[in-house]
Amino acid sequence: MPATLYVVHGSHPCETVKRALEMKGLAYKIIELPPAMHAAVMRLLFGERTVPGIKLETGEKLTGSRTILRRLDQLVPEPALLPADGEARERVLEAEAWGDEVLQAATRRILWPTLLANAADAPSFSEGAKMPLPAPVLKAAIPVVARIELKLNATSDDARAADLQSLPGWLEKIDGWLADGTLGGEQVSAADLQIAPSLKLLMAMEDLRAIIGPRPCGQWADGLFPGSVGRLPVGAIPREALPVGA
């Protein structure tokens, strides 16, 4: 029995785990859960409400992208997702934790209010889904789903504005890690897999692609994860919410 990965289509930590499974050469099947409803299903199946979740061949059930990547490294050591050298390993673990706790969560807080305000463009985020909903159903569902997600992610227009003011500093940090080799090394690491998908999802908003895309981190993320899910045109984020000078 191959592993079974539970995802929401387009979810950035799910992309992290998918790529790790592919790098390890592990066969897996995907169960796509509908956004917002997924939290209840995950709670029932895994006792935790977030995707990604995985049922491994061993019978283990795990959630949390970092937890899953640690276990994959134990099960299939090569290619290793963490450097062997102690100091380099610590730096990668620190960047990975920051990517999970800060950037990944902020990406959700920025995206959901933007999707709610731009519901007409939101169906682009379900393109490529395994079970696409018919357009009229999708149109009716998006505002409902987005409102639930605002609650799940404790976000709002104000929370988005605060995150967007932090964005330039975060991009500096990521570019710094790329410059010193913590990210973007010869061997793709757990930190690379954690941070690049968040940048990709942020860049699905064209207002943010204009800020992130030309930077080293934007080009790196596009190179590592060339596909994309969704597109919200320029103007989807009000100008006054964008970082000063953007």
Ligand X SMILES: N[C@@H](CCC(=O)N[C@@H](CS)C(=O)NCC(=O)O)C(=O)O
Q: Report in angstroms how near the CB of residue 93 gets to ligand X at its nearest.
A: 14
Cβ proximity to ligand X, 228 vs 245, nearer residue: 228
Q: CB under 6 A: which stretch of 11-19, 73-81, 112-120, 226-234 binds ligand X? A: 11-19
Q: Which of 64, 83, 184, 218 binds ligand X (CB under 6 A)?
A: 64
Cβ proximity to ligand X, 197 vs 219, nearer residue: 197
Residue 16: name the closest of 209, 198, 171, 213 by CA: 198
Q: Which of 3, 11, 155, 241 binds ligand X (CB under 6 A)?
A: 11
Q: Which of 104, 114, 189, 198 binds ligand X (CB under 6 A)?
A: 104
User: Do residues 72 and 20 make contact, with C-beta atoms less than 8 angstroms apart?
Assistant: yes
Q: Which of 76, 148, 152, 162 binds ligand X (CB under 6 A)?
A: 152
* Residue 81 touching ligand X (CB under 6 A): no
* Residue 198 touching ligand X (CB under 6 A): no
Judged by CB under 6 A, the chain residues 110 through 129 that form the site for ligand X are none
Cβ proximity to ligand X, 117 vs 148, nearer residue: 148
Q: What is the 3-state secondary structure (H, E, C) of 120-176?
A: HHHHHHHCCCCCCCCHHHHHHHHHHHHHHHHHHCCCCHHHHHHHHHHHHHHHHHHHH
Residues in contact with ligand X, counted by CB under 6 A, come to a total of 15
The two structure tokens encoding residue 65: 């992208």
Q: For the window 24-63, what string marks contact with ligand X as x by the rule CB under 6 A?
A: ---------------x---------xxxx-----------
For tokens 């390993």, the residue is 89
Q: What is the 3-state secondary structure (H, E, C) of 176-222?
A: HHHHHCCCCCCCCCHHHHHHHHHHHHHHCEHHHHHHHCCCHHHHHHH
* Residue 192 touching ligand X (CB under 6 A): no
Residue 162 CB coordination number (10 Å)? 14
Residue 243: name the closest of 215, 216, 218, 207 by CA: 207
User: Do residues 177 and 95 make contact, with C-beta atoms less than 8 angstroms apart?
Assistant: yes
Q: Report in angstroms how near the CB of residue 205 gets to ligand X at its nearest.
A: 15
* Residue 13 touching ligand X (CB under 6 A): yes
Backbone Cα Rg of the chain = 18
Q: How far is CA 19 from the centre of its chain?
A: 12
Cβ proximity to ligand X, 33 vs 237, nearer residue: 33
Q: What residue ranges bind ligand X (CB under 6 A)? A: 8, 11-13, 39, 49-52, 64-65, 100, 104, 108, 152
